[in-house]
Amino acid sequence: MKNCIAFVLDGKVVEVAFGTTSLFTPTTTVLNYLRGLPHHRGVKEGCAEGDCGACTVVVGELTAAKKVEYRAVNSCMLFLPMLHGKQLITVENLKGPAGELHPVQQALVNAHGSQCGYCTPGIVMTLFALYKSASKPSREEIADTLAGNLCRCTGYRPLLEAAAEACSGDGRDEFAKDEARVVDLLNSIPCEGISISSGEQCYDQPASLNACLALLEKRPDAIVVNGATDVALRVTKEFEVLPQIIDCSRIDELREVASDSGALTIGAGVRVSEVMKIVRHDFPAFHQMLELFAAGQIRNVATLGGNVGTASPVGDALPVLIAYGASFILRSRKGTRTVRAAEFVRGYRKTERRTDELITSIVLPRPSARTKIRFYKVSKRRNLDIATVSAAFKLDLDRGGRVDDIVLVYGGMADCTKRSVTTEGFLKGKPWDRRYVEEAQRLVDNDFSPISDVRGSAEFRRIAARNLLLKFWSETNV
């Protein structure tokens, strides 16, 4: 589709046109679009960076089984073209045909969990997505779901009770009754890629991998996104105009997952919320990291490939991927190559990916039974916070209890994710006991020159990095 997108809102297909005379640009956020409509102003802007949840809406998307899957997302970080072919649901859409409250809303009233009109709509939408996707969730699941909604004016207990009450049934509501009609509406929207040219911006959303690779050759300066939860901040916080964007979120080939006895291969376009389910049992340290990765609204949009592609020096995914010995598959029209995760980042926000290449998948080798891998994150709060220091460690001991192989990876300690090679070299071949680990702690400083910033001083980072190594020893000295 050219200069036009279509999605379902208020029970009908809505088309939005772009161009030099349009009110909208390709990087207009869904939040700002909704705030411009007369009857969808329940959604609010609080932080404009995915922290507060006041802007939460729900996106419905067709699954392979032709069912609608509902996901809570931050509308402040979602570009309008990302709605193409999907259903957009706001708090105004929840009322019943006679104006009655949705079960989630009624539960909040019953539990005295409703608060001011600024944050409550976002909480309602988060719980609505949970209502449609989970039956009888545990208290831990409910708490994790609500982690992306910062406001707690009424306290935690009423919100947890309301969620438990609402989700105790089978998820039936007016949306379930109307699902067949909505599926037909979504099927009526052309599913091919979209191409938008709006003044000084070009936005392409190819529908196939080959089409995307052709665009990469044509537009080497384009910003490549697959979720855009990092790039969106350049628009919402820096008010930057992004001239060229290639959005890979519609490419099915990037959402494929393959598994065998030797490795797990995850498509670069698999959302983080799905990756959590995939790695839960076989890659526990990876799952542990993802539990601390932002919150549900961001995990429902962000992708694994998008996260590693940003090459953030404090990104949580890259340290644990390096510890697992992961590698990335990069593809261009000229061919395919494999790059080890440890060699992927070359400096601050610089990677081995050429401008004509795309990260298509991440390959995770299955560790042996004797391999011990841990992930640690030091931050000011557990959820929704950038790490002050992060670390992922891997250890293999020989039969005599000596270090056969060790990998110590740190984030937040340099301009990019980096291994402490001096410390690794010292520990290799030595007994895994506290005396040598304490000696090794002092060597960590030799590999890093951290900076002081708002999250922590350089000295704090050094102390934290050393102490994480001792913590690793205490957890693995069994």
pLDDT of residue 116: 82
pLDDT of residue 316: 82
Q: Are 396 and 371 in contact (CB under 8 A)?
A: yes
Convert the pLDDT of each residue in 39-93 to its tens digit. 999 999 999 999 999 999 999 999 989 999 999 999 999 999 999 999 999 999 9
Domain assignment present for 253:
no
Convert the pLDDT of each residue in 415-462 to its tens digit. 999 999 999 999 999 999 999 999 999 999 999 999 999 999 999 999
Domain assignment present for 333:
no
State which of 190, 224, 246 marks the end of a domain.
190
- CA-wise closest residue to 203 among 223, 233, 182, 181: 223
Domain assignment present for 457:
yes
pLDDT band, very low/low/confident/very high, at 153 (cuts 50, 70, 90) = confident
Convert the pLDDT of each residue in 361-401 to its tens digit. 999 999 999 999 999 999 998 888 889 999 999 999 999 99
Domain assignment present for 64:
yes
Domain assignment present for 45:
yes
How much is the mean pLDDT over the chain?
95
Domain extent, residue 78, equals: 24-190
pLDDT of residue 274: 97
Q: What is the CA radius of gyration of the chain?
A: 23
State which of 190, 208, 240 marks the end of a domain.
190
Query: Residue 178 belongs to a domain with what CATH number?
Result: 1.10.150.120
- Type of residue found at 149: N
pLDDT of residue 199: 82
- Sheet of strand 194-198: strand arrangement: 194-198, 201-205, 244-247, 223-225
State which of 175, 190, 205 marks the end of a domain.
190
Domain assignment present for 324:
no
pLDDT at 154 over 80: no
The conformational region for residue 59 under phi > 0 = left, psi -120 to 50 = alpha, else beta, is beta
pLDDT of residue 256: 97
Nearest-5° Cα angle at 183, 295 to 93: 60
Query: Residue 468 belongs to a domain with what CATH number?
Result: 3.30.390.50
pLDDT at 352 over 90: yes
Give me the DSSP letters along 126-143: HHHHHHHH-SS--HHHHH
Percentage of the chain exceeding pLDDT 70: 100
The model carries a pTM of 0.94
Number of domains making up the chain: 2
pLDDT at 357 over 80: yes
pLDDT at 478 over 80: no
Domain assignment present for 227:
no
SS3 at position 335: strand
pLDDT band, very low/low/confident/very high, at 114 (cuts 50, 70, 90) = confident
pLDDT (average), residues 136-145? 94
Convert the pLDDT of each residue in 250-286 to its tens digit. 999 999 999 999 999 999 999 999 999 999 999 999 9
pLDDT of residue 41: 93
Domain assignment present for 272:
no
Which of 156-170, 230-244, 389-403 comes out lowest in average pLDDT? 156-170
